[in-house]
Amino acid sequence: MFNLRARGSTIGTEVLAGATTFLTVAYILFLNPKMLGDAGMPANDVATMIALGGAICAILIGLITNLPFVLAPGVGMSAFFAYGAVLGYGVDWRVALAAALIAGLIFFLLVLVGLRNFLYMALPQVVRTATMVGIGLFLTIIGFQNAGLTVDSPATLITLGKISDPKVLLSLFGLLLTGALMAWQVRSAILISIITVTVLAWLIGLSPMPQQWFALPTLTGQTILAVDFNQFFSVLFFKLVIAFFFLAVLDLMGTLSGINRLAGLMDSDGRVFGSHTTYAVDSVGIMLTSLLGTSPNTVFIESAVGMQVGGRTGLTALTVGFLFLIALFFIPVFTAIPAIATAPALIVVGAMMMRGASDLDWTSPEDIIPAFLTIASMAFTFNIAHGIAFGIISYTLLYASRGRFDQLNWAMILLTAILMVYLAFYL
Protein backbone atom coordinates (compact mmCIF):
# COMPACT_ATOMS: atom_id res chain seq x y z
CA MET A 1 0.00 0.00 0.00
CA PHE A 2 2.78 2.45 0.88
CA ASN A 3 5.33 1.26 -1.72
CA LEU A 4 7.94 0.81 0.98
CA ARG A 5 10.26 -1.27 -1.15
CA ALA A 6 10.10 1.10 -4.12
CA ARG A 7 11.12 4.01 -1.89
CA GLY A 8 13.84 2.07 -0.13
CA SER A 9 12.19 2.05 3.29
CA THR A 10 10.85 -0.40 5.86
CA ILE A 11 8.02 -0.44 8.38
CA GLY A 12 10.49 0.00 11.23
CA THR A 13 12.14 2.98 9.58
CA GLU A 14 8.81 4.66 8.89
CA VAL A 15 7.58 4.20 12.47
CA LEU A 16 10.90 5.50 13.80
CA ALA A 17 10.69 8.51 11.49
CA GLY A 18 7.13 9.22 12.61
CA ALA A 19 8.02 9.00 16.31
CA THR A 20 11.02 11.27 15.82
CA THR A 21 8.98 13.81 13.87
CA PHE A 22 6.26 13.84 16.49
CA LEU A 23 8.65 14.44 19.38
CA THR A 24 10.24 17.25 17.38
CA VAL A 25 6.91 19.03 16.84
CA ALA A 26 5.34 18.24 20.23
CA TYR A 27 6.32 21.71 21.43
CA ILE A 28 3.39 23.19 19.52
CA LEU A 29 1.06 21.56 22.05
CA PHE A 30 2.15 24.15 24.62
CA LEU A 31 3.71 26.99 22.58
CA ASN A 32 0.87 27.62 20.13
CA PRO A 33 -1.88 27.51 22.81
CA LYS A 34 0.11 30.11 24.76
CA MET A 35 0.26 32.44 21.73
CA LEU A 36 -3.39 31.97 20.86
CA GLY A 37 -4.23 32.36 24.54
CA ASP A 38 -2.68 35.82 24.34
CA ALA A 39 -5.29 36.53 21.67
CA GLY A 40 -8.09 35.60 24.06
CA MET A 41 -8.65 31.99 23.02
CA PRO A 42 -9.08 29.24 25.67
CA ALA A 43 -5.61 27.66 25.72
CA ASN A 44 -6.74 24.22 26.89
CA ASP A 45 -9.27 23.92 24.08
CA VAL A 46 -6.64 25.06 21.58
CA ALA A 47 -4.15 22.39 22.73
CA THR A 48 -6.78 19.66 22.38
CA MET A 49 -7.85 20.86 18.94
CA ILE A 50 -4.23 21.09 17.74
CA ALA A 51 -3.75 17.43 18.67
CA LEU A 52 -7.05 16.37 17.10
CA GLY A 53 -6.54 18.44 13.96
CA GLY A 54 -2.96 17.23 13.63
CA ALA A 55 -4.09 13.62 13.89
CA ILE A 56 -6.82 13.99 11.26
CA CYS A 57 -4.57 15.85 8.82
CA ALA A 58 -1.66 13.43 9.27
CA ILE A 59 -3.93 10.48 8.58
CA LEU A 60 -5.36 12.20 5.48
CA ILE A 61 -1.96 13.17 4.10
CA GLY A 62 -0.59 9.68 4.76
CA LEU A 63 -3.45 7.81 3.11
CA ILE A 64 -4.07 10.21 0.22
CA THR A 65 -0.56 11.35 -0.78
CA ASN A 66 1.64 8.58 0.67
CA LEU A 67 4.12 11.25 1.79
CA PRO A 68 5.82 11.58 5.22
CA PHE A 69 4.41 14.94 6.27
CA VAL A 70 3.01 16.31 9.48
CA LEU A 71 0.42 19.10 9.30
CA ALA A 72 -0.05 21.40 12.25
CA PRO A 73 -0.41 25.12 13.01
CA GLY A 74 3.02 26.59 12.32
CA VAL A 75 4.59 28.95 14.83
CA GLY A 76 4.83 31.72 12.23
CA MET A 77 1.19 31.37 11.24
CA SER A 78 0.08 31.23 14.88
CA ALA A 79 2.14 34.33 15.66
CA PHE A 80 0.56 36.19 12.73
CA PHE A 81 -2.90 35.03 13.81
CA ALA A 82 -2.46 36.13 17.42
CA TYR A 83 -0.18 39.16 17.28
CA GLY A 84 -0.82 40.41 13.75
CA ALA A 85 -4.49 39.83 13.07
CA VAL A 86 -6.08 39.79 16.54
CA LEU A 87 -3.88 41.97 18.74
CA GLY A 88 -2.36 44.06 15.95
CA TYR A 89 -5.59 44.93 14.14
CA GLY A 90 -8.01 44.47 16.98
CA VAL A 91 -10.30 41.90 15.36
CA ASP A 92 -11.96 39.26 17.48
CA TRP A 93 -10.30 35.85 17.22
CA ARG A 94 -13.55 34.41 15.90
CA VAL A 95 -13.38 36.83 12.96
CA ALA A 96 -9.76 35.80 12.33
CA LEU A 97 -10.88 32.16 12.24
CA ALA A 98 -13.51 33.09 9.65
CA ALA A 99 -10.90 34.86 7.51
CA ALA A 100 -8.63 31.81 7.67
CA LEU A 101 -11.57 29.56 6.71
CA ILE A 102 -12.31 31.66 3.60
CA ALA A 103 -8.60 31.69 2.71
CA GLY A 104 -8.55 27.89 2.94
CA LEU A 105 -11.67 27.63 0.76
CA ILE A 106 -10.14 29.91 -1.90
CA PHE A 107 -6.94 27.85 -1.72
CA PHE A 108 -8.92 24.63 -2.25
CA LEU A 109 -10.92 26.00 -5.19
CA LEU A 110 -7.77 27.27 -6.90
CA VAL A 111 -6.10 23.88 -6.43
CA LEU A 112 -9.03 22.32 -8.28
CA VAL A 113 -8.52 24.63 -11.29
CA GLY A 114 -4.75 24.18 -11.52
CA LEU A 115 -3.00 26.32 -8.89
CA ARG A 116 -0.26 23.69 -8.43
CA ASN A 117 0.71 23.81 -12.13
CA PHE A 118 0.68 27.61 -12.13
CA LEU A 119 2.98 27.76 -9.11
CA TYR A 120 5.33 25.20 -10.65
CA MET A 121 5.67 27.38 -13.74
CA ALA A 122 6.05 30.53 -11.67
CA LEU A 123 8.80 29.19 -9.39
CA PRO A 124 12.24 29.47 -11.07
CA GLN A 125 14.58 26.51 -10.70
CA VAL A 126 17.16 28.61 -8.86
CA VAL A 127 14.54 29.62 -6.27
CA ARG A 128 13.45 25.99 -5.84
CA THR A 129 17.04 24.97 -5.16
CA ALA A 130 17.66 27.89 -2.81
CA THR A 131 14.49 27.05 -0.88
CA MET A 132 16.06 23.87 0.50
CA VAL A 133 19.03 25.86 1.77
CA GLY A 134 16.79 28.60 3.17
CA ILE A 135 14.66 26.14 5.09
CA GLY A 136 17.83 24.55 6.44
CA LEU A 137 19.03 27.92 7.74
CA PHE A 138 15.53 28.65 9.09
CA LEU A 139 15.52 25.37 11.03
CA THR A 140 19.00 26.10 12.35
CA ILE A 141 17.98 29.52 13.67
CA ILE A 142 15.01 27.95 15.45
CA GLY A 143 17.34 25.31 16.88
CA PHE A 144 19.85 27.94 18.05
CA GLN A 145 17.08 29.88 19.77
CA ASN A 146 15.62 26.80 21.44
CA ALA A 147 19.05 25.74 22.62
CA GLY A 148 19.82 29.19 24.03
CA LEU A 149 22.83 29.55 21.74
CA THR A 150 21.37 32.83 20.48
CA VAL A 151 19.33 35.27 22.54
CA ASP A 152 17.65 38.64 22.06
CA SER A 153 19.84 41.73 22.03
CA PRO A 154 18.52 45.33 22.07
CA ALA A 155 21.65 46.46 20.21
CA THR A 156 22.10 43.76 17.56
CA LEU A 157 18.71 41.94 17.62
CA ILE A 158 20.45 38.64 18.43
CA THR A 159 23.69 37.72 20.16
CA LEU A 160 25.50 34.72 21.60
CA GLY A 161 23.81 33.15 24.60
CA LYS A 162 25.51 32.21 27.83
CA ILE A 163 27.42 29.06 26.93
CA SER A 164 28.00 28.20 30.60
CA ASP A 165 24.24 27.97 31.17
CA PRO A 166 23.46 24.32 32.05
CA LYS A 167 20.58 24.28 29.58
CA VAL A 168 22.84 25.41 26.74
CA LEU A 169 25.49 22.86 27.74
CA LEU A 170 22.90 20.06 27.82
CA SER A 171 21.61 21.05 24.39
CA LEU A 172 25.19 21.10 23.04
CA PHE A 173 25.65 17.63 24.52
CA GLY A 174 22.56 16.54 22.61
CA LEU A 175 24.00 18.02 19.43
CA LEU A 176 27.29 16.14 19.89
CA LEU A 177 25.42 12.94 20.78
CA THR A 178 23.28 13.22 17.66
CA GLY A 179 26.30 13.86 15.46
CA ALA A 180 28.26 10.98 16.95
CA LEU A 181 25.39 8.52 16.56
CA MET A 182 24.80 9.65 12.98
CA ALA A 183 28.50 9.19 12.25
CA TRP A 184 28.11 5.65 13.48
CA GLN A 185 25.08 5.39 11.14
CA VAL A 186 22.57 4.80 13.92
CA ARG A 187 19.16 5.35 12.31
CA SER A 188 17.53 6.31 15.61
CA ALA A 189 20.21 8.92 16.41
CA ILE A 190 17.86 11.89 16.58
CA LEU A 191 15.20 10.05 18.60
CA ILE A 192 17.81 8.75 21.07
CA SER A 193 19.17 12.27 21.51
CA ILE A 194 15.73 13.81 22.13
CA ILE A 195 14.81 11.19 24.74
CA THR A 196 18.23 11.31 26.43
CA VAL A 197 18.30 15.09 26.78
CA THR A 198 14.67 15.16 27.94
CA VAL A 199 15.29 12.60 30.70
CA LEU A 200 18.51 14.34 31.82
CA ALA A 201 16.75 17.71 31.89
CA TRP A 202 14.02 16.22 34.06
CA LEU A 203 16.42 14.44 36.42
CA ILE A 204 18.73 17.39 37.08
CA GLY A 205 15.91 19.90 37.34
CA LEU A 206 16.55 21.94 34.21
CA SER A 207 13.00 21.28 33.03
CA PRO A 208 9.96 20.33 35.10
CA MET A 209 8.82 16.75 34.96
CA PRO A 210 5.19 16.13 34.08
CA GLN A 211 2.97 16.74 37.09
CA GLN A 212 0.73 13.98 35.83
CA TRP A 213 1.27 11.35 33.18
CA PHE A 214 -2.31 10.84 32.06
CA ALA A 215 -5.18 13.29 31.66
CA LEU A 216 -8.51 12.93 29.93
CA PRO A 217 -9.03 15.64 27.30
CA THR A 218 -11.37 18.39 28.44
CA LEU A 219 -13.15 20.95 26.33
CA THR A 220 -15.24 24.01 27.04
CA GLY A 221 -16.50 23.94 23.46
CA GLN A 222 -15.76 27.64 22.94
CA THR A 223 -13.63 27.23 19.81
CA ILE A 224 -15.53 24.62 17.79
CA LEU A 225 -17.49 26.23 14.93
CA ALA A 226 -16.80 29.64 16.49
CA VAL A 227 -16.16 31.40 13.17
CA ASP A 228 -17.73 34.87 12.99
CA PHE A 229 -18.54 36.48 9.63
CA ASN A 230 -19.94 39.76 10.93
CA GLN A 231 -17.06 41.69 9.28
CA PHE A 232 -17.22 39.72 6.04
CA PHE A 233 -17.73 42.78 3.83
CA SER A 234 -15.12 44.96 5.52
CA VAL A 235 -11.79 45.94 3.93
CA LEU A 236 -9.91 44.59 6.94
CA PHE A 237 -11.55 41.17 6.59
CA PHE A 238 -10.50 41.10 2.92
CA LYS A 239 -6.91 41.97 3.87
CA LEU A 240 -6.87 39.21 6.47
CA VAL A 241 -8.11 36.65 3.92
CA ILE A 242 -5.42 37.70 1.42
CA ALA A 243 -2.72 37.58 4.09
CA PHE A 244 -3.71 34.11 5.32
CA PHE A 245 -3.96 32.88 1.71
CA PHE A 246 -0.52 34.03 0.60
CA LEU A 247 1.17 32.94 3.81
CA ALA A 248 -0.36 29.47 3.46
CA VAL A 249 0.30 29.00 -0.27
CA LEU A 250 3.84 30.35 -0.38
CA ASP A 251 4.79 28.60 2.85
CA LEU A 252 3.55 25.27 1.49
CA MET A 253 5.20 25.78 -1.90
CA GLY A 254 8.55 26.51 -0.29
CA THR A 255 8.31 23.74 2.26
CA LEU A 256 7.43 21.08 -0.32
CA SER A 257 10.23 22.17 -2.63
CA GLY A 258 12.80 22.23 0.15
CA ILE A 259 12.10 19.11 2.16
CA ASN A 260 11.30 16.89 -0.81
CA ARG A 261 14.61 17.83 -2.40
CA LEU A 262 16.23 16.65 0.83
CA ALA A 263 14.49 13.27 0.58
CA GLY A 264 14.70 12.90 -3.21
CA LEU A 265 10.91 12.78 -3.56
CA MET A 266 10.95 14.75 -6.82
CA ASP A 267 11.11 13.81 -10.49
CA SER A 268 13.86 14.85 -12.89
CA ASP A 269 12.04 18.11 -13.71
CA GLY A 270 11.80 19.11 -10.07
CA ARG A 271 8.13 18.25 -9.65
CA VAL A 272 7.26 17.09 -6.15
CA PHE A 273 5.64 13.66 -6.00
CA GLY A 274 1.98 13.92 -4.98
CA SER A 275 2.11 17.71 -4.74
CA HIS A 276 -1.35 18.24 -6.24
CA THR A 277 -3.07 16.13 -3.60
CA THR A 278 -0.81 17.63 -0.92
CA TYR A 279 -2.01 21.11 -1.86
CA ALA A 280 -5.61 19.88 -1.66
CA VAL A 281 -5.14 18.22 1.75
CA ASP A 282 -3.31 21.27 3.07
CA SER A 283 -6.18 23.55 2.03
CA VAL A 284 -8.69 21.19 3.63
CA GLY A 285 -6.53 21.24 6.75
CA ILE A 286 -6.77 25.03 6.88
CA MET A 287 -10.56 24.86 6.73
CA LEU A 288 -10.73 22.03 9.26
CA THR A 289 -8.56 23.76 11.87
CA SER A 290 -10.46 27.01 11.40
CA LEU A 291 -13.68 25.16 12.24
CA LEU A 292 -12.05 23.36 15.18
CA GLY A 293 -10.69 26.65 16.49
CA THR A 294 -6.93 26.92 15.95
CA SER A 295 -4.68 28.88 13.63
CA PRO A 296 -4.33 27.34 10.14
CA ASN A 297 -2.58 24.00 9.64
CA THR A 298 0.23 23.64 7.12
CA VAL A 299 2.95 21.13 6.25
CA PHE A 300 5.50 21.54 9.04
CA ILE A 301 9.10 22.18 8.05
CA GLU A 302 10.03 19.88 10.93
CA SER A 303 8.77 17.06 8.68
CA ALA A 304 12.35 17.23 7.37
CA VAL A 305 13.55 15.70 10.65
CA GLY A 306 11.61 12.49 10.05
CA MET A 307 12.68 12.44 6.42
CA GLN A 308 16.30 12.70 7.51
CA VAL A 309 15.73 9.66 9.73
CA GLY A 310 14.49 7.79 6.66
CA GLY A 311 10.76 8.45 6.42
CA ARG A 312 9.67 8.27 2.79
CA THR A 313 6.01 7.21 2.79
CA GLY A 314 2.62 7.93 4.28
CA LEU A 315 3.29 5.39 7.01
CA THR A 316 5.45 8.04 8.70
CA ALA A 317 2.49 10.43 8.60
CA LEU A 318 0.12 7.79 9.96
CA THR A 319 2.52 7.20 12.86
CA VAL A 320 2.48 10.91 13.61
CA GLY A 321 -1.31 10.92 13.43
CA PHE A 322 -1.55 8.00 15.84
CA LEU A 323 0.80 9.74 18.28
CA PHE A 324 -1.27 12.93 18.08
CA LEU A 325 -4.28 10.85 19.11
CA ILE A 326 -2.29 9.35 21.98
CA ALA A 327 -1.20 12.86 22.92
CA LEU A 328 -4.84 13.76 23.61
CA PHE A 329 -4.52 11.64 26.75
CA PHE A 330 -0.86 12.40 27.58
CA ILE A 331 -0.59 16.11 26.79
CA PRO A 332 1.16 16.78 30.16
CA VAL A 333 3.95 14.38 29.15
CA PHE A 334 4.51 15.64 25.64
CA THR A 335 4.33 19.27 26.65
CA ALA A 336 7.05 18.55 29.24
CA ILE A 337 9.58 17.80 26.49
CA PRO A 338 11.92 20.80 26.72
CA ALA A 339 12.94 22.86 23.70
CA ILE A 340 16.59 22.16 24.47
CA ALA A 341 15.94 18.48 23.71
CA THR A 342 14.61 19.04 20.20
CA ALA A 343 16.99 21.90 19.31
CA PRO A 344 19.85 19.55 18.31
CA ALA A 345 17.56 17.76 15.84
CA LEU A 346 16.66 21.04 14.13
CA ILE A 347 20.31 22.10 13.90
CA VAL A 348 21.45 18.75 12.48
CA VAL A 349 18.71 18.64 9.86
CA GLY A 350 19.45 22.26 9.01
CA ALA A 351 23.04 21.26 8.38
CA MET A 352 21.95 18.39 6.13
CA MET A 353 19.80 20.73 4.03
CA MET A 354 22.68 23.13 3.39
CA ARG A 355 24.07 20.72 0.82
CA GLY A 356 21.64 22.23 -1.68
CA ALA A 357 23.96 25.26 -1.86
CA SER A 358 26.37 23.22 -3.99
CA ASP A 359 23.72 22.97 -6.73
CA LEU A 360 23.57 26.75 -7.18
CA ASP A 361 25.61 28.63 -9.79
CA TRP A 362 27.37 31.23 -7.66
CA THR A 363 28.95 32.94 -10.67
CA SER A 364 25.76 34.32 -12.24
CA PRO A 365 24.40 37.55 -10.65
CA GLU A 366 20.95 36.89 -12.10
CA ASP A 367 20.89 33.65 -10.14
CA ILE A 368 22.86 34.27 -6.97
CA ILE A 369 20.94 37.38 -5.95
CA PRO A 370 17.49 35.70 -6.11
CA ALA A 371 18.98 32.60 -4.49
CA PHE A 372 20.58 34.55 -1.68
CA LEU A 373 17.49 36.69 -1.09
CA THR A 374 15.41 33.52 -0.90
CA ILE A 375 17.77 31.99 1.66
CA ALA A 376 18.35 35.12 3.74
CA SER A 377 14.74 36.32 3.73
CA MET A 378 13.42 33.00 5.00
CA ALA A 379 15.78 33.10 7.95
CA PHE A 380 15.83 36.80 8.78
CA THR A 381 12.10 37.46 8.36
CA PHE A 382 11.34 34.14 10.07
CA ASN A 383 8.96 33.27 7.26
CA ILE A 384 9.27 30.85 4.34
CA ALA A 385 6.62 32.70 2.34
CA HIS A 386 8.59 35.95 2.41
CA GLY A 387 11.71 34.19 1.16
CA ILE A 388 9.84 32.73 -1.80
CA ALA A 389 8.32 36.14 -2.58
CA PHE A 390 11.65 37.98 -2.57
CA GLY A 391 13.26 35.24 -4.64
CA ILE A 392 10.60 35.26 -7.37
CA ILE A 393 10.39 39.05 -7.57
CA SER A 394 14.16 39.57 -7.77
CA TYR A 395 14.56 36.77 -10.35
CA THR A 396 11.93 38.25 -12.66
CA LEU A 397 13.21 41.82 -12.35
CA LEU A 398 16.87 40.90 -12.86
CA TYR A 399 16.23 38.74 -15.93
CA ALA A 400 13.91 41.40 -17.38
CA SER A 401 16.55 44.10 -16.83
CA ARG A 402 19.00 42.03 -18.87
CA GLY A 403 16.44 41.54 -21.63
CA ARG A 404 16.47 37.78 -21.07
CA PHE A 405 12.74 37.35 -21.47
CA ASP A 406 13.28 33.85 -22.86
CA GLN A 407 13.98 32.78 -19.25
CA LEU A 408 10.64 34.15 -18.06
CA ASN A 409 7.06 33.01 -18.62
CA TRP A 410 3.65 34.51 -18.09
CA ALA A 411 3.21 32.74 -14.74
CA MET A 412 6.43 34.22 -13.32
CA ILE A 413 5.52 37.71 -14.50
CA LEU A 414 1.95 37.48 -13.18
CA LEU A 415 2.98 36.09 -9.80
CA THR A 416 5.72 38.71 -9.50
CA ALA A 417 3.18 41.49 -9.99
CA ILE A 418 0.79 39.91 -7.48
CA LEU A 419 3.52 39.45 -4.88
CA MET A 420 4.77 43.03 -5.27
CA VAL A 421 1.28 44.33 -4.53
CA TYR A 422 0.89 41.87 -1.66
CA LEU A 423 4.18 42.87 0.00
CA ALA A 424 3.42 46.57 -0.51
CA PHE A 425 0.20 46.21 1.48
CA TYR A 426 1.40 43.45 3.84
CA LEU A 427 -0.42 43.68 7.17
pLDDT for res 267: 61
Ranges of the chain with pLDDT below 70:
262-263, 266-273, 427
pLDDT for res 138: 86
pLDDT for res 271: 65
Q: Which amino acid is at 93?
A: W
Q: Angle 365-380/125-147 helices, nearest 10 degrees?
A: 30
Neighbours of 311 (CB within 10 A): 32
pTM higher than the cut 0.75: yes
Q: How far apart are CA 138 and CA 378, in angstroms?
A: 6
Main-chain phi, psi angles of 365, to 5 degrees: -60, -35
2 located within any domain: no
3 located within any domain: no
pLDDT for res 95: 97
331 located within any domain: yes
4 located within any domain: no
Query: How many structural domains is the chain composed of?
Result: 1
pLDDT for res 295: 93
- Structural domain that includes position 280: 11-424
pLDDT for res 425: 78
1 located within any domain: no
pLDDT for res 269: 58
216 located within any domain: yes
pLDDT for res 10: 93
Main-chain phi, psi angles of 360, to 5 degrees: -90, 145
6 located within any domain: no
Question: Quick check: 130 and 378 in contact, CB under 8 A?
Answer: no
5 located within any domain: no
